[in-house]
Amino acid sequence: MSDLENLSPLDFEDLCRDIAQKEIGARFSAFGPGPDGGVDGRHSMGDGVTVLQCKHYLRSTFSNLKTSAKKEYKKIRKLSPKRYLFFTSQSLTPTRSDQLIEIFKPYIINSGDIWGRDDIEGALRKYPDIVKSHTKLWLSSVAALEHILQSGLEAFTKATKEEILEEIKVYVKNPSFDEAIEKLEKEKVLIVSGPPGVGKTTLAKMVAYHYLNNDWHFYAINSLEDGFSKIDDEKPMVIFFDDFLGRIELDRQSLLQHENALSVFVKRVRKSKNARFILTTRAHIFEEARRISDHVDDQRFQLSKYLLDVGAYTRKIKSHILFNHLSASNLSQEHFSYLLEGDWLVKIIDHKNYNPRVIASVS
């Protein structure tokens, strides 16, 4: 069973939209957070509009779901769609499905357009590519988490199980994720760089966890000595070194010693078919290291070819990050609705000081 519990309402909408697109074979337009007017996805053709509505009511009662459905019906009447698809994360019995059909007549004609949890789970088994694209569905599985905790330096040294679960709840996949995987597969080494607070470490962790789904081992290291002690050509492994330049003094002698060891270790990783090495660094520290040392970017080392700069977020991703943090917080429904209905959302995501760390600290 997939972990729908770890999806925010917006994540759930994205998942349902992907399933609907697969099932119908047509693209549904997506809409950002805010009052949706009864529409979470829309597909238009010459003979009418198909509307998708998603209700992530996993921890709620069926009575609450019906109340919400009746409110949605008032919006649907204004839209008058040709077809209406209703997805919910609640498990539905035939009786409950019939009750929802009755509420949505004449826009829902049969139970095939009502999707409950069991239907969604079935679709995920049918379309494994959807599961793969929705990282939270498999990163948060108990087996994967236990694998993390029992592997790296005999345990994951950078985060507790609870911290991992919290990060998964609010994580928003962005184009940097696929770019990072592509670069790591090509070079076997990935350096994630960017300003403070933009999500470098979170991205690096999520990239590392990606490999766990294929039974790779994970090691979080605090020094290159740790890495040398763990690398094994017979064992698929991902080695993670967070803030690798922040752990040394940025003087010429210290950098030279560190770079020599790093150069040897990078060559060792690239020689192995089963090793991947992920590092993070703050952009200003990396640039300072470049300034001080001629060795960082010389032809023998070519550190820059492993570099991935992060920090640029689209407005959609910014709003998704904010929405996920608010969903995972203790904010009341009243205050949550107030933020979505007013212009606060736009003010926050367009603020010059917006970054994921700030959002996490205030939510």
338 and 278 in a single domain? The answer is no
Question: Are both 123 and 209 inside the same structural domain?
Answer: no
Domain CATH code at residue 78: 3.40.1350
pLDDT at 269 (0 to 100): 94
Clarify whether residues 183 and 111 are in a common domain. Answer: no
Q: Where are the beta strands (DSSP E) in 111-216?
A: 114-115, 189-194
Final residue before a domain boundary, out of 92, 108, 133 = 133
Q: CB count, 10 Å around CB of 199?
A: 25
Same domain, yes or no: 247 and 354: no
Whether residue 10 is contained in a domain is answered as yes
Q: Give the whole-angstrom CA distance, residue 188 versus residue 92.
A: 46
pLDDT at position 36:
47
- Are residues 113 and 18 both part of a single domain? yes
What's the pLDDT score for residue 156?
Answer: 45
pLDDT the model gives residue 40: 60
Residue 54 neighbours by CB under 8 Å, 6+ apart: 9, 12, 13, 16, 17, 40, 41, 87, 88
Which residues have C-beta within 8 Å of that of residue 4, sequence separation ≥ 6?
12, 15, 56, 58, 89, 117, 120, 137
Q: Domain of 339?
A: 315-362
pTM over 0.75: no
Q: Are residues 22 and 110 located together in one domain of the fold?
A: yes
Last residue of a domain, one of 79, 114, 133: 133
Domains in the chain, number = 3
On whether the CB atoms of residues 218 and 307 are closer than 8 A, the answer is no
Give yes or no for a contact between 102 and 73, defined as CB atoms under 8 angstroms apart.
Answer: no
Rounded Cα gap, residues 12 and 226, in angstroms: 39
Shared domain check, 184 and 112:
no
pLDDT one digit per residue (tens) for the chain, 363 residues:
457 888 888 899 999 999 999 998 888 877 655 554 444 656 555 467 888 899 999 888 999 999 999 988 988 888 888 889 999 999 999 999 999 999 999 998 788 999 999 999 999 989 988 987 887 786 655 555 555 544 544 544 445 345 655 677 777 788 889 999 999 999 999 999 887 777 888 888 888 878 876 778 888 887 888 888 888 888 999 998 988 877 555 555 555 666 677 888 989 999 999 999 999 988 767 666 666 655 555 555 566 678 887 766 777 777 787 877 777 777 776 776 777 776 777 888 778 777 776 777 666
Residue 53: enclosing H or E segment and its boundaries? strand 48-55
